[in-house]
Amino acid sequence: MKKLKTGIFSGSFNPIHIGHLALANYLCEFGEVDEVWFVVSPHNPLKKPADLWPDELRLRLVQLAIGDYPYFHASDFEFHLPRPSYTIHTLDCLKKAYPDREFHLIIGSDNWQRFGCWRESERIIAENQLLVYPRPGYPVNKDLLPTNVRIVKSPTFEISSTFIRYALAEGKDVRYFLHPAVYKRIIQQTGSIDSSHSCHT
C-alpha cells in the first residue's frame, strides 16, 4: 500500500498567518505532498519560551485558520513530547506512531543554511525527506543538496509572525495578514495576551 506523503510543517505559529497557509496550500495542490500537518511547537530550542503565546491559543488559531480544507491538519503532537522540541525526536516518534505515512519535513531556505546547528542534523537528512521552500535573501544551490533534500518552487511571502505581533501591540489593523477567523480570535483575546509576549522575536 502506498504511503501518504505527509508534510510536517513544524513551528511556533506565533501566530499563524497567510504566508504559512499559502505555502502549505501550494505544497498540497501542486503535488509535493498529499497533506500538510501543522505541528505546533510548545518550545523551539532556538526561541525563548517567554516569547510565545500560550500553547493552546496558538493551536486553536491554527485550527481556526485551516478550517475545513481537507488536506490540512492541526497537530499538538509535540505537546506530549519532552521539551524543548527537537525535530529529530519528533520525526522518530511520528514514524513510530504513523507507519502508514511518509513524512516530509518542510523548512525554509533560511533554516536550511543553519541546518548544521540542529540536533542530529545529519541523521535527519539521512533518514527523512526534506522540502526546502525559498526565503528572500537565502539562496540555495540545488546542485549541492543531498539526495533526500529538495527545493520546491513555491511563491515567496515576506510576512513574519514577529511583524504581526509588533503590529498588533501597536494597535495596527493587520487583518489582511491573517485568516479572518484568526484575526477575530486574536482581537477577542487581546485583553488576555500579555503585551510582553507581543514584542519579541
pLDDT of residue 190: 75
Cis peptide before 82 (omega within 30 of 0): no
- pLDDT tens digits for 68-94? 999 999 999 999 999 888 999 999 999
Residue with cell 501542486: 30
pTM for the whole structure: 0.91
Beta bridge partners of residue 37, listed in sequence order: 8, 73
pLDDT of residue 198: 43
pLDDT of residue 45: 65
- pLDDT tens digits for 127-154? 999 999 999 999 999 999 999 999 999 9
Could you give the angle at the alpha carbon of 156 between the alpha carbons of 114 and 56, nearest 5°? 70
d(CA 184, CA 46) in angstroms, rounded, equals: 29
Cis peptide before 84 (omega within 30 of 0): yes
- Domain segments of the chain: what residues? 4-195
- pLDDT tens digits for 25-61? 999 999 899 999 999 999 766 666 667 899 999 999 9
pLDDT of residue 3: 95
How does the average pLDDT of the chain come out, rounded? 92
The amino acid sitting at 157 is F
CATH of region 4-195, choose from 2.40.10.480, 3.30.2320.50, 3.40.50.620, 3.40.50.740: 3.40.50.620
